Chains A and B, each alone.
Chain A
């Protein structure tokens, strides 16, 4: 490590990860009865975390594929468990996204949480620590701990501050995810056990295990277990049904974080473990994953088209957009992978923003039904303008971020097998249809008498949205800043799968190409 701060013993990632929880402790001890104080503390904590993340990004060296800011100390030495942190470009982008959305989630739910506010904001901060922990962990055990930690505050956020069916949604969310977690735990133990038994010593270290070269018998089952766990989180078709319920019932901040970050943890896990540990299985899974992805793209879009509830609509659109992400990841070329990771950020920004907007409308009208709205552009022109920008970004308008990710993924997919790009493009048409139709029915048309007196967005709400607009335009016009972090990790992934791609993946690609390809 040549980095000066690291030489001084600056443990940036530890600080980053535990700063939110430290803020939560301060709130819990000193500010139990003072809402304005604990809200401010929560906000300031999250802003500091964001600032720290940006600082790390500035210090980050984009040229190398290795993990940076590593910290490694023994934790439970007897079991080979260590406290090992480190990030590469992929984690860095997701960390930036997490910290940004956390700030905005806190800001966005400033006044909408009336009951047990302290617990709510503490939950959000604990959640932030859990999410950051997932992205910085370089040790499987540590990863698993953080993975489970973030589940608990999210469960409470949905179950306590949610809508009418919050308990159902929270339990559904928890059980779905937990089924995956348990499978993952089994897989973790299996590979650690195999590695120890074959003379590698007892270790949970991710980097060590990545080089293990598991035999197909162990790898196939472990891949499947990991994959199911992450597919539920993404969520891929057909294990997506927790998502609409969880999103619909969760409070605004919950939806924002859920869509913005939690879903990405699934894809992140796929990158790190499914592909990182078992590249030889990953290449064999290309075709099934692609099929499931394009089904998700079209299916999610079709479901969105007929949802009567705005939040449900956006939730199903997440299924569609995350289908792009998984598709891009598993075509294994530079454009696909970089597009996939960038699309995660884009989806976080745009869907987070859409949920935020729906939340702002809900705060005023207390309904999420599209049919209850209409003509909102008249009383709330500023809100309508912001909303339209996010809708357009989401449907992939060039110049905004959604397009950049989507197009890279499509280019990547197209190179692999044209048929998938064609089907995915149908999803884009449907995307325009459901988003614009919703926009037309809510913002345009005859104004609903009831809403004519509504106040437009407040300064706080505008401040919440402006960073998201900035991100949308920035990534849309100059994605270089962000893609720069991804070149090296993407090449790293490619170098891992390349040997097997020629062996197995090539065969499937060839098959697909001869079956469906053009030329």
Chain B
């Protein structure tokens, strides 16, 4: 493993460099080949690494070179492969490969075709770097780099002001989170004297560090995670990020990058387990975000916006799991979510593609017969997201809810259940509004052009649909869980600290499963009642029913407006005011004032310069007289 691991990120990076430099003038419309092949290579190597690391007690560490070496601050550029990394590698390269292939069809004919694949490759590199890092600083490197790619790809259609603004917003909001992350990294170094995972975790487990410091570190790291994984109150960037091309939304803003926060917390499980207060915060934020975003998702009309809020909500579920120390449960949901959410996004992309770029669900409808492959695969994803047996989402969501129930936090369990109900509702609202009905609510020209997407787009859909269907079986509850046992070596230390009991399947589990299944079906049923039985009313029905509440939800609880009125305003208007009133008036005023002072002093003494030689001579004479007097007589 030592000798090929570096290739996993290096292949996409090479693809990035080649595509960027040669794409514009040379490769052009064939720009997809190199990135796809590179991704396939990385995927193959990831499988190899996955197989080799299976069951290993200790992580494999591959050192490249010393990055920082200043006094006691020693940070290597080194990779670490353990089971958690292996799972993440598979998700990133596997889902990534499918999305790359899909993009070949989706982005076909775009003037920025080469640019798209170059950025996507750079993203793959950064994400792989993120999961392969063996220390917090390299993780931070990957973390920022994925943020950068996200920035580029959200603003891919840079001529659209909204896209450019959304990219900037994503980067800056993430920076707010990274403010905490960066300070967390510093605090880790100052506390432990190292940034390597192994070194840090050994010292934490050794118990030499004060509890408060650990809580501080954990909370600072979690602040970064909140930014990247779009948790309330830093969730605002993700829905806007849908301005990017749909494959980007699928890969970056659903399957991989946004789960980096979950990865970070899971990776730091030892720290979080030793800081229960921080863990509680993680759970609360996750739970609140899960239901908060789900509620907003009910009122959105843009198909991608629904999926975006759904992603925020599902990420909340993952943090909900982390909050009770269900590390592998969170990772399991991460994997399952990567499958079905990528599928849903790609399906939505296929819908949008067939509709000639239309994203508003109110203009769709009746698409089931027109684009059958998309419909069936989308349906699979929707069932998985809603948590219907036996699709992937059922198992993973149930794992999270069950763990919370077992941990005794019934409030979280209940809120999660409500959120699951809402999830099923908005998912099937989306399905019904988009695919059901007799006709498409759009102009005739668009209707006439509706067509099934090309093979390069449908095949990834089919493969992801298969994964979403059977993927759940890797995480069966209790001791049947393959993924739980696979991840055991990574999380055993954290679980020991928390004292999490050995999993077992009892009657309780079965009951909980049935409950959550019933809740999901109820949500679907409600959606059916509203949107199929009374199809012509659509969301206006809701509007009439709830009125002002609906408006607040539709406007996403005015969080964006709140930020614009407070932070942004303070920063921009405040700075402008300081600039004019302090920098220009006070500081430069003092500078100009001193100049003015000397100018006026000159004006005062200027008359002494009469221009008459005799006056000067008189002055000289008096001067001589005075000096001589002083010297001689004093």
Q: Please list the residues of chain A having a beta carbon within 8 angstroms of any beta carbon in chain B.
A: 172, 175-176, 238, 240-242, 299, 302-303, 305-307, 333-335, 338-339, 375, 377-378, 381, 392, 397-399, 403-404, 407-408, 410-411, 414-415, 418, 421-422, 425-426, 428-430, 432-433, 436-437, 439-440, 443-447, 477-480, 483, 487, 518-519
Once the chains bind, are A334 and B587 in contact (CB under 8 Å)? no
Chain B proximity of A35: nearest CB distance (Å): 33
Tell me the nearest residue of chain B to A176, going by C-beta: B591
The reply to whether the CB of B6 lies closer than 8 angstroms to some CB of chain A is: no
Knowing A172-B591, A335-B71, A408-B70, the reply to whether A425 touches B183 (Cβ < 8 A) is yes
Q: Which 4 A-B pairs have the closest CB atoms?
A: A334-B71, A444-B164, A398-B141, A302-B575
Taking CB atoms, residues of chain A closer than 8 Å to B73 are 334-335, 408, 411
Once the chains bind, are B164 and A478 in contact (CB under 8 Å)? no
**A-B contact list, 25 entries, CB within 8 Å:** A302-B575, A303-B578, A306-B575, A306-B579, A334-B72, A335-B71, A338-B71, A381-B24, A397-B145, A398-B137, A403-B144, A408-B70, A408-B73, A425-B182, A429-B175, A439-B168, A440-B164, A443-B158, A444-B167, A445-B158, A446-B159, A477-B77, A478-B65, A480-B65, A483-B69
- State the CA gap A479–B137 with chains docked (Å): 14
The reply to whether the CB of B47 lies closer than 8 angstroms to some CB of chain A is: no
The reply to whether the CB of B572 lies closer than 8 angstroms to some CB of chain A is: yes
The reply to whether the CB of B376 lies closer than 8 angstroms to some CB of chain A is: no
The reply to whether the CB of B555 lies closer than 8 angstroms to some CB of chain A is: no
Taking CB atoms, residues of chain A closer than 8 Å to B579 are 302-303, 306-307
Tell me the nearest residue of chain B to A415, going by C-beta: B190
Taking CB atoms, residues of chain B closer than 8 Å to A477 are 67, 77
| Interface bracket on B | 35 or more
Chain B proximity of A100: nearest CB distance (Å): 23
Q: Which of A176, A305, A404, A408 is the one whose CB lies under 8 Å from B575?
A: A305
The reply to whether the CB of B179 lies closer than 8 angstroms to some CB of chain A is: yes
Taking CB atoms, residues of chain B closer than 8 Å to A425 are 179, 182-183
The reply to whether the CB of B551 lies closer than 8 angstroms to some CB of chain A is: no
The reply to whether the CB of B450 lies closer than 8 angstroms to some CB of chain A is: no
Chain B proximity of A235: nearest CB distance (Å): 11
- State the CA gap A487–B67 with chains docked (Å): 15
Taking CB atoms, residues of chain A closer than 8 Å to B190 are 411, 414-415
Once the chains bind, are A306 and B576 in contact (CB under 8 Å)? yes
The reply to whether the CB of B186 lies closer than 8 angstroms to some CB of chain A is: yes
Q: Which of B69, B159, B171 is the one whose CB lies under 8 Å from A436?
A: B171
Interface centre among B137, B171, B187, B213 (most CB of A within 10 A): B171
Contacts A392-B148, A398-B141, A445-B161 known; 14 new A-B pairs at CB < 8 A: A240-B587, A334-B73, A338-B70, A339-B70, A381-B24, A397-B145, A422-B183, A436-B167, A440-B164, A446-B161, A479-B68, A483-B70, A487-B70, A518-B187
Once the chains bind, are A302 and B571 in contact (CB under 8 Å)? yes
Of residues 175 to 217 in B, which have CB atoms within 8 Å of A's CB atoms? Answer: 175-176, 179, 182-183, 186-187, 189-190, 210, 212-213, 216
Tell me the nearest residue of chain B to A479, going by C-beta: B68
- State the CA gap A428–B180 with chains docked (Å): 12
Once the chains bind, are B179 and A429 in contact (CB under 8 Å)? yes
Chain A proximity of B463: nearest CB distance (Å): 33
Taking CB atoms, residues of chain A closer than 8 Å to B486 are none
Taking CB atoms, residues of chain A closer than 8 Å to B140 are 398
Tell me the nearest residue of chain B to A484, going by C-beta: B69
- State the CA gap A440–B161 with chains docked (Å): 9
Chain B proximity of A323: nearest CB distance (Å): 15
Taking CB atoms, residues of chain B closer than 8 Å to A397 are 144-145, 148
Q: Please list the residues of chain B having a beta carbon within 8 angstroms of any beta carbon in chain A.
A: 24, 65-73, 77, 137, 140-141, 144-145, 148, 151, 155, 158-161, 163-165, 167-168, 171-172, 175-176, 179, 182-183, 186-187, 189-190, 210, 212-213, 216, 571-572, 574-576, 578-579, 583, 587-588, 591, 595
Knowing A397-B144, A414-B187, the reply to whether A302 touches B72 (Cβ < 8 A) is no
Q: Which of A172, A240, A426, A444 is the one whose CB lies under 8 Å from B179?
A: A426
Taking CB atoms, residues of chain A closer than 8 Å to B213 are 518-519
Q: Which of A176, A240, A436 is the one whose CB lies under 8 Å from B168?
A: A436
Once the chains bind, are B145 and A428 in contact (CB under 8 Å)? no
Once the chains bind, are B574 and A302 in contact (CB under 8 Å)? yes
Chain A proximity of B187: nearest CB distance (Å): 7
Taking CB atoms, residues of chain B closer than 8 Å to A418 are 187
- State the CA gap A309–B396 with chains docked (Å): 53
Chain A proximity of B580: nearest CB distance (Å): 9
Tell me the nearest residue of chain B to A382, going by C-beta: B24
Knowing A426-B179, A428-B179, A432-B172, the reply to whether A408 touches B68 (Cβ < 8 A) is yes
Tell me the nearest residue of chain A to B191, going by C-beta: A519
Chain A proximity of B265: nearest CB distance (Å): 20
Taking CB atoms, residues of chain A closer than 8 Å to B72 are 334
Chain B proximity of A210: nearest CB distance (Å): 23
Once the chains bind, are B179 and A436 in contact (CB under 8 Å)? no
- State the CA gap A290–B172 with chains docked (Å): 26
Taking CB atoms, residues of chain B closer than 8 Å to A436 are 151, 167-168, 171-172
Tell me the nearest residue of chain B to A172, going by C-beta: B591
Once the chains bind, are A241 and B588 in contact (CB under 8 Å)? yes
Tell me the nearest residue of chain A to B577, going by C-beta: A306
Chain B proximity of A213: nearest CB distance (Å): 27
Once the chains bind, are B186 and A429 in contact (CB under 8 Å)? no
Knowing A432-B171, A436-B171, the reply to whether A421 touches B571 (Cβ < 8 A) is no
- State the CA gap A422–B186 with chains docked (Å): 10
Tell me the nearest residue of chain A to B595, going by C-beta: A175
Taking CB atoms, residues of chain A closer than 8 Å to B212 are 518-519
Once the chains bind, are B182 and A428 in contact (CB under 8 Å)? yes
- State the CA gap A299–B137 with chains docked (Å): 27
Once the chains bind, are B68 and A447 in contact (CB under 8 Å)? no
Chain B proximity of A518: nearest CB distance (Å): 6
Taking CB atoms, residues of chain B closer than 8 Å to A375 are 158-159
Chain A proximity of B424: nearest CB distance (Å): 38
- State the CA gap A302–B581 with chains docked (Å): 13
Taking CB atoms, residues of chain A closer than 8 Å to B171 are 432, 436
Once the chains bind, are A429 and B172 in contact (CB under 8 Å)? yes
Taking CB atoms, residues of chain B closer than 8 Å to A338 are 70-71
Once the chains bind, are B189 and A411 in contact (CB under 8 Å)? yes
Tell me the nearest residue of chain A to B129, going by C-beta: A399
Chain B proximity of A228: nearest CB distance (Å): 14
Taking CB atoms, residues of chain B closer than 8 Å to A302 are 571, 574-575, 578-579
Taking CB atoms, residues of chain B closer than 8 Å to A307 are 579
Taking CB atoms, residues of chain A closer than 8 Å to B179 are 425-426, 428-429
- State the CA gap A305–B568 with chains docked (Å): 11
Taking CB atoms, residues of chain B closer than 8 Å to A519 are 210, 212-213
- State the CA gap A375–B161 with chains docked (Å): 10
Tell me the nearest residue of chain B to A375, going by C-beta: B159
Taking CB atoms, residues of chain B closer than 8 Å to A305 are 571-572, 575
Taking CB atoms, residues of chain A closer than 8 Å to B151 are 436
Knowing A408-B68, A483-B69, the reply to whether A444 touches B158 (Cβ < 8 A) is yes
- State the CA gap A429–B144 with chains docked (Å): 13
Taking CB atoms, residues of chain B closer than 8 Å to A440 are 155, 164-165, 167-168
Once the chains bind, are A399 and B141 in contact (CB under 8 Å)? yes
Tell me the nearest residue of chain A to B210, going by C-beta: A519
Q: Which of B77, B164, B574, B583 is the one whose CB lies under 8 Å from A241?
A: B583
- State the CA gap A238–B69 with chains docked (Å): 34
- State the CA gap A307–B141 with chains docked (Å): 30
Chain B proximity of A117: nearest CB distance (Å): 33
